Structures are given as C-alpha cells and as structure tokens.
Amino acid sequence: MNLGSLKYSDGSHHREKRIGRGEGSGHGGTSCRGHKGQRSRSGAKRRAWFEGGQMPIQRRLPKRGFTNIHREESQLVQLTSLEGFASAVTPESLLAAGLIDRLDAPVKILCDGELKSALQVSGVKLSQSAQARIEAAGGSVQG
C-alpha cells in the first residue's frame, strides 16, 4: 500500500455535480435553477432573516421593557456553602474558596439552609434572613 493506491470507502464519497455543462450532463440549460425568478439570477442572495417581503417578525412584534443601565448584578452565595468555612468571611476569602468569580462585583449571601458555626462576616451584602441566622448561630456582621 502507498499513497497512490488510497481510495475512499465504497459509498462514502459522492461525485461532484457538474452543473451547466451542456444538455448531455442532465444539468444544462437552466443549470438546475428553474425558470426565471430571484433565485435563478447570478449573484442572487437572500439574507437569512428575509421573509419574502412581508413585514419581518422584529417589526411585527411590539417593543417591550427596557434595560436598566444602573443595575448591579450581585454574585450570590448560599448560607449552606459557608458551613465548613473559617471564622472570617470576606470577598477575598470567598474568592479563594472558589465561591465567587471576581472581586469587582458585589457579593450577597442568601439564606438557604441552617448554619451551626459562628462566622464574622464583613464586606458583603446579606439578606435579612441570612443575617438573622448568622447572628443566631453566634456570629457577627459588619458593613
């Protein structure tokens, strides 16, 4: 066997359809494009969202809502993920533990489950119920 004797497996490769090469090819004349019309012309393209000239969907549907440019997306941490944590909870310690992705976005701790260890939480936002559970477990919350 050498490179010159390599062949495609049977049935895995189709011959190229040679279009517009005379009547004997079976694809002559109109070159498989039919008669007249937009798609028979050379250079004819239609954008993927073109709907044949009818009013497009993005113009038929009404505008709705708006984007609040002042929205701050908080990184959420559940109270149960802090269970095996050291005593101090700060954004830096949460980042080191892999519970948040970055320090430039605010962090908020939500109340999900119980907390048994006393934690000192600082530099993060808390839901009211999460703050109540941290304080009930003997922890403290600063700013």
pTM over the 0.75 mark: no
Q: 123: pLDDT confidence band, cut at 50, 70 and 90?
A: very high
Is 99 or 113 the better-scoring residue by pLDDT? 99
Domain count for the chain: 1
Average pLDDT score over residue span 113-140: 91
Q: Supply 24's token pair.
A: 């004997």
Residue 128 sits in a domain whose CATH number is 3.100.10.10
**Does any domain span residue 49?**
no
Coil/strand/helix, residue 80: helix
Q: How far apart are CA 143 and CA 43, in angstroms?
A: 65
- Give the residue numbers spanning the domain of 108: 76-142
Cα–Cα nearest to 82, from 107, 106, 117, 108: 117
**Does any domain span residue 67?**
no
**Does any domain span residue 120?**
yes
Q: Supply 18's token pair.
A: 């040679």
Q: What is the pLDDT of residue 143?
A: 72
**Does any domain span residue 31?**
no
Q: What is the pLDDT of residue 44?
A: 83
Q: How far apart are CA 63 and CA 72, in angstroms?
A: 24
Cα–Cα nearest to 134, from 77, 75, 76, 79: 79
Q: What are phi and psi of 111, to 5 degrees?
A: -85, 110
Q: How far apart are CA 99 and CA 129, in angstroms?
A: 20
**Does any domain span residue 108?**
yes
pLDDT higher than 80, residue 86: no
Q: 93: pLDDT confidence band, cut at 50, 70 and 90?
A: very high
The predicted-structure confidence for 29-83, as pLDDT tens digits, reads as follows: 999 999 998 889 998 888 999 998 999 999 999 999 999 999 999 999 999 898 8
**Does any domain span residue 112?**
yes
